[in-house]
């Protein structure tokens, strides 16, 4: 493992595909171990997002839109093709490529399909139309889409909830992370 990120360190998370960056946000490192990278995205953290929310992100110009409340704790299992986002009323599973470390933080690629699990154990698929559109437009292959669905089914079968992080609170001394001059 590369040198771990220190708790509280601000990092940049870039989502890239085909050499293009299509989403960027900043976060504070909560924990960085051989098994897990935990990140905190506070409200107001700088983000670069696609201009139009309901279209495929890969071909759009990015605009600055800060992270909106609430903040979110993200748990990124090392080597896994997903991250778990902890919200007060539900757990969210973001399907994404396993992360790769960079000098400024980590790179991954959102896979568009997501899962939501309520506190009472109900699973719901989210954004299936976005993945279908990406396949239809040729941004994601049928083979990649099948692998994304398989990862979602693995997460559902493993049901990693509760995570043990539900009572975690951010360190109030952490500063709002910022974007570096070049990303």
Query: What tens digit of pLDDT does each residue of 124-148 get?
Result: 999 999 999 989 988 899 999 999 9
Amino acid 57: pLDDT: 52
pLDDT for 183 = 67
CB 48 within 8 A of CB 28: no
Q: What is the dihedral of CA 175, 20, 37, 155, to 10 degrees?
A: 130
Summarised one tens digit per residue, pLDDT across range 19-30 is: 888 899 999 999
Contact predicate 93/87, CB 8 Å? no
Residue 59: the pLDDT is: 56
Task: Report CA-CA distances (Å) from 39 to 22, 42, 72, 126.
Answer: 20, 10, 8, 22
Residue 60's pLDDT is 65
Residue 84 phi, psi (nearest 5): -105, 130
Q: What is the pLDDT of residue 54?
A: 54
Look up 126 and say whether it is catalytic.
Answer: yes
Q: Would the pTM of this model clear 0.75, i.e. be above it?
A: yes
Options 1.10.760.10, 2.40.380.10, 3.40.50.620, 1.10.3720.10; CATH of 10-158: 2.40.380.10
Q: Dihedrals φ, ψ of 132, to 5°?
A: -60, -40
| Residue numbers of the chain with a pLDDT score lower than 70 | 1, 52-60, 183
Q: Which of 9, 65, 101, 126 is catalytic?
A: 126
Domain ranges of the chain: 10-158
What's residue 89's pLDDT? 79
């Amino acid at each position: 493992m590369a040198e771990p990120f220190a708790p509280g360190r601000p990092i940049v998370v870039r989502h890239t595909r085909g050499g293009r960056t299509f989403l960027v946000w900043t976060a504070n490192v909560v924990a960085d171990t051989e098994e897990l990278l935990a990140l905190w995205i506070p409200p107001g953290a700088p983000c670069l997002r696609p201009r139009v929310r309901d279209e495929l992100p890969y071909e759009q110009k990015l605009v600055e839109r800060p992270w909106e409340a609430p903040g979110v704790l993200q748990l990124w299992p090392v080597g896994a093709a997903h991250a778990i986002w902890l919200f007060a009323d539900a757990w969210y599973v973001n399907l994404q490529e396993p992360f790769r470390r960079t000098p400024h933080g980590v790179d991954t690629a959102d896979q568009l399909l997501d899962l939501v699990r309520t506190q009472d154990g109900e699973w719901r698929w989210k954004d299936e139309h976005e993945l279908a559109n990406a396949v239809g437009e040729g941004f994601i292959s049928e083979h990649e889409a099948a692998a994304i669905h398989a990862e979602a089914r693995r997460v559902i079968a493993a049901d990693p909830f509760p995570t043990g992080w539900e009572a975690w609170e951010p360190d109030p001394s952490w500063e709002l992370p910022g974007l570096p001059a070049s990303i």
